[in-house]
Structure 1
Amino acid sequence: MTDTMPARQTSTTHKVMPHPLNAWYVAAWDHEVTRKPMARRIADRPLALYRTEDGRAVALADACWHRLAPLSMGKVVGRDGIQCPYHGIVYDSLGRCVSMPAQETINPSATVPSFPVVERYRYVWVWVGDPALADPALVPDMHQMDSPEWAGDGLTIHAKCNFQLVLDNLMDLTHEEFVHSSTIGQEELSESDFVTTHDDRTVTVERWMLNIDPPPFWLKNMRDKFPGFSGKVDRWQIIHFEAPSTINIDVGVAMAGTGAPEGDRSQGVNGYVMNTITPETDRTSHYFWAFMRNYRLDSQLITTQLRQGVHGVFGEDEVMLEAQQAAIDANPDYEFYNLNIDAGGMWARRIIERMLEAEGRSARMAPAAPTFRRTGA
C-alpha cells in the first residue's frame, strides 16, 4: 500500500509504548556470548547467556530457582550446564535442575525458564514471549551483515530512552539537516519528496535528492572509490522497517545523471545502515547497528573509518534521544504531534500497536495512521 500525506497532520502519538514480547530481539553480538556467562536484560527480562560445549548459545532466566541468585554470576559446567554461584545448583541448557548440593533427590519443580535462541546475521536473537510462537522465519532480514558481497562492522549503543524513540529517529531522516549538519546533513533532506509504503509487518520510506552537492561523509566515500571525485551527485535514502524494531537503510550517492534512480549505481557508493533495537526496559534500549558497504571490500581501513564515523554520527543522536526521554518524563501528560515527515514512524507505531493488541497488552490505542501520500515538500 502506498500513502499520501496531507499538507498538515495534527493527530497525536503516544510517547512511550510498551514492547511486544512475541518477537525476536537481538540479545548480543555472536562474539559476546562465550563459555563465561553474561547478563543482559531483554524486554525487561533479566537473562543469563552462555554457550554449551558444542558452541550453541543458551538463554536462561537470570535467577536461580532456590533464592533467585543471578545465574550470570555463576559458571558453565559440563557439556551444557550452568552452576548457581550461591549454593551450587546446576541447570542444563533447558533450565532443568540436574544437580543439588547435599541431597540426591532433585525437587521436580527446580527449573528456570529457558528461551528460544537463533543465531543469524552475526547476532544472537532471543524470543521472550510464548515459545510456541517462536518461528525462526520471523527473524528480520539483515542478510547484508554476513553476505560476501558486503563488508562492514558495527557497535552497540546503550540508549537511555524508550525503543520507539530510536525507531522514530530512524524512520525520519530529515533530522540529519539539523543534528548532523557537519557530516551527512543538508537542506535538500527537508526539501525533497518521499514516498511511504507499508504492509502488515513492514514500512518503507523512499527519498531521492537529485543533482546536489554531496555532504562531507559521502564526498569522502566517493573519493575512496573514485579518487579525486568532485561534482554533483544523486543521493538516496530507502528506509525499511520490519516489525517490531529492525530498520535497514539503503543509502548512497552516485555521480549525478548516471542512472542511479533507474537502478544503475555503478558510478556511486552504496551502503546499508543496519539497525535493530532491543528494549531493555520501557526507558532504556540496546541499539545494535552496523554500516555495510559493497565497495573496497578488502579494506579494513575503510571498515574501521566508517565504523568510527558512523559511531560519531550516532553519538549525536544519542544525546538528542536521551534529552528527549528526559523531557518526556518531565511532561507526562503531553502527547506528540505529527508532521508530514512522521508518516513512516506513525505506520511503524501502528504495526507495533497491533502486535501488542494481539498479545492483550495494549493499554491505550494509538491514533489511526494517515492514509495519504505526500507528493511534494
Structure 2
Amino acid sequence: MTDLGPGGATAKNMQFPLDAWYVAAWDHEVTSAALTARTIAGKSMVLYRTDEGRPVALADACWHRLAPLSMGKRVGSDQVQCPYHGLRYNSAGRCTSMPSQDTINPSAMVASFPVEQRYRFLWVWPGDPTLADPSLIADMSQMDSPDWAGDGRTIDVQANWLLVLDNLMDLTHEEFVHSSSIGQDELSEAGFDVTHDERTVTVSRWMRGIDPPPFWRKNMRDRFPGFEGKVDRWQIIHYEAPGTICIDVGVAEAGTGAPEGDRSRGVNGYVMNTMSPVDERSALYFWAFMRNYCLDSQLITTQLREGVHGVFGEDEAMLTAQQKAIDANPDHEFYNLNIDAGGMWVRRIVQRMIETERAPSRGFDAFAAGTGR
C-alpha cells in the first residue's frame, strides 16, 4: 500500500448514528431496586428493571417540568416516580398517575427506548424504535460462552468515540504507547491484511518467530510453566458497526502451527471492546479480556483484568490529550498512513450510516408508511 494522504477523516467529523445498538451498562449494574442515569448518543436515559427483571430505558426527563426521572424512585412492579411532583410512568413510558387529579392527560408520556440484554451487557437503540432489529447487535459471544473466561471494566473516555475506534483498529501504537507491556518493534515491521464489507472491517497481522513481550511471556508461563523461546504472535481485529471491536490475540510456541490453525501450544485471548458515544467529546468504553485457558482460575482472571486496565489507562491518557489538541485545532485535516487503512474503512461505514439516517427520502419513507402510500 501507499500513503493514503489527507481526506476521509477530519477533526470536525465527530458525529454518531442514532439508528444503532449501543451498550448502556453492564447487566449487573442495572437492578429493580435503583435507577441508573446514562447518556447514550446524546440521549439522556434512566435505566432500571421491572420486578420480573426486564430491563427498561426511558427518557430521563419528566413530561411535566423535565425533572430527571433518575433522581426519583422505583414504584410498583414496573414504574418510576418523578422526584419533583410525583408523576409516575410505566415501562412503556406512559404516565399512570398525576398528583391531585384523576384525569391523566393523554399526551403525558416519555420516550421508551428499545433494550436488549445480551453478552453481559444492556444494549439500547436511541434512534427510530421501529428499526430496532436485535439481529443487528454485534457478536460478542465470547463474553458469555462456557469456553471462555474473563472480566472487564468501563472507561469514561473524555474523547470522541471515533478516536477510540481509530486507536483499536491500528495496534502499531502498542510499540510506542505500551512499550513496557505488549509493545515490540515487530508490530510496525509486520505486514497486515484488510478486508471489509458493508458493516464490518477486519485487520489481520502475524509476527512469526519473535520474542514474546512481557504480557504474553507471563501468560505463556501461566499455561506452560517455565516456557522459554520464540513465539508466533497474532492480532486479528474485527470491527462490527457501529462501535464494537473484538480482537483475537495471542501467542504460540514458534513453529507449532498457529498460523495454520493449530493454537494448542499457545495462549489465546479476545479483547472485547464496544464504544458508546455520550456526546461529540466523550464516550463510554466497555471492555473485557476473555481467555480460553485456565478457565477456573480467578487469580488469572483478576490479574488479566488489572493488567489490561493498566494498559488501557495509557490509551486513555493519549486519547484525552488528542481530544484537547483537536479542540484547539478544529479545522485540522487528519493525514492517513498505511496503518490507518482499517480505521478509514470504519469511518466510512459510520459516515454512511449517518448519511442514510439524514437522507431526505428517509423522512418520505416514514411518512408513506404511516399513510399507506
TM-score, normalising length: structure 2: 0.95
Q: Secondary structure at the match of 1:197?
A: strand
Q: Give, in angstroms, the shift of residue 52 of structure 1.
A: 0.3
Give the counterpart of 2:26 among 24, 29, 33.
29
Name the aligned partner's letter for residue 10 of structure 1.
G
Q: Please name the residue that 2:261 is paired with.
A: 263
Question: Identity across aligned pairs (percent)?
Answer: 73
> What is the rounded CA distance, in whole Å, between the counterparts of 1:227 and 1:357 in structure 2?
53
Alignment counterpart, residue 127 of structure 1, candidates 125, 130, 148:
125
The aligned counterpart of 1:357 is 355
| Match in the other structure for 1:282 | 280
One-letter amino acid of the counterpart of residue 234, structure 2: W
> 1:82 maps to what in 2?
80
Answer yes or no: is the 8 Å Cα contact 2:232–2:254 preserved in 1: yes
TM-fit CA distance, 1:270: 0.1
Q: Secondary structure at the match of 2:203?
A: strand
Task: Report the secondary structure of 1:298's partner residue.
Answer: coil
Structure 1 residue runs of 5 or longer lacking an equivalent are: 363-377
Deviations 1:311-367 (CA, angstroms, capped at 9, x unpaired): 0000000000000000000001111000000000000000001001101179xxxxx
**Shift of residue 139, structure 1, vs aligned partner:** 0.4
Matches within 5 A, 1:65-80: 65-80=63-78
**What's the counterpart of residue 374 of structure 1?**
none
Matches within 5 A, 1:228-239: 228-239=226-237
Task: Write the distance in 2 (CA, Å) between the matches of 1:119 and 1:332.
Answer: 38
Q: Deviations over 1:9-44 (max 9, x none)?
A: 212222232000000000000000012011000001
SS state at 1:352 partner: helix
* Aligned: 1:250 with 2:248: yes
Matched to 1:122, the amino acid is R
Q: CA deviation at 1:301?
A: 0.2
Gapped runs of 5+ residues in structure 2? 361-373
In structure 1, distance between residues paired with 2:14 and 2:77: 40
User: Which residue is 1:14 aligned to?
Assistant: 10
1:320 to 313, 318, 321: 318
Give the CA deviation at 1:303.
0.2
Q: Which residue of 2 aligns with 1:223?
A: 221
Structure 1's consecutive aligned runs of 4 or more residues displaced over 2 angstroms after TM superposition are none
Between Structure 1 and Structure 2, how many residues are aligned?
A: 357
Tell me the equivalent position of 1:138.
136
User: Structure 1 CA distance, aligned partners of 2:307 and 2:318?
Assistant: 18
CA-to-aligned-CA distance 1:242-274 (integer Å, 9 cap, x gap): 001000000000000000000000000000000
* Partner Cα distance (1:112, 1:9) in 2: 47
Secondary structure at the counterpart of residue 350 of structure 2: helix
CA distance in 2, matches of 1:344, 1:334: 21
AA in 1 matched with 2:14: M
Q: Structure 2 counterpart of 1:11, which letter?
A: P
Counterpart contact for 2:183–2:213, Cα < 8 Å: yes
The alignment yields a C-alpha RMSD, in angstroms, of 0.9
Partner SS for 1:309: helix
The equivalent of 1:203 in structure 2 is 201
Aligned AA (1:259): G
State the distance in 1 between where 2:359 and 2:227 align. 54
Partner of 2:371: none
2:122 match: secondary structure: strand
Matched residue type, 2:185: E
Query: Which amino acid counterpart does residue 137 of structure 1 have in structure 2?
Result: S
Q: TM-score, normalised by structure 1?
A: 0.94
Tell me, in whole angstroms, the C-alpha distance in 2 between the residues paired with 1:329 and 1:73: 32
Q: For residues 39-118 of structure 1, what are the structure 2 equivalents within 5 Å?
A: 39-118=37-116
Q: Which residue of 1 aligns with 2:190?
A: 192
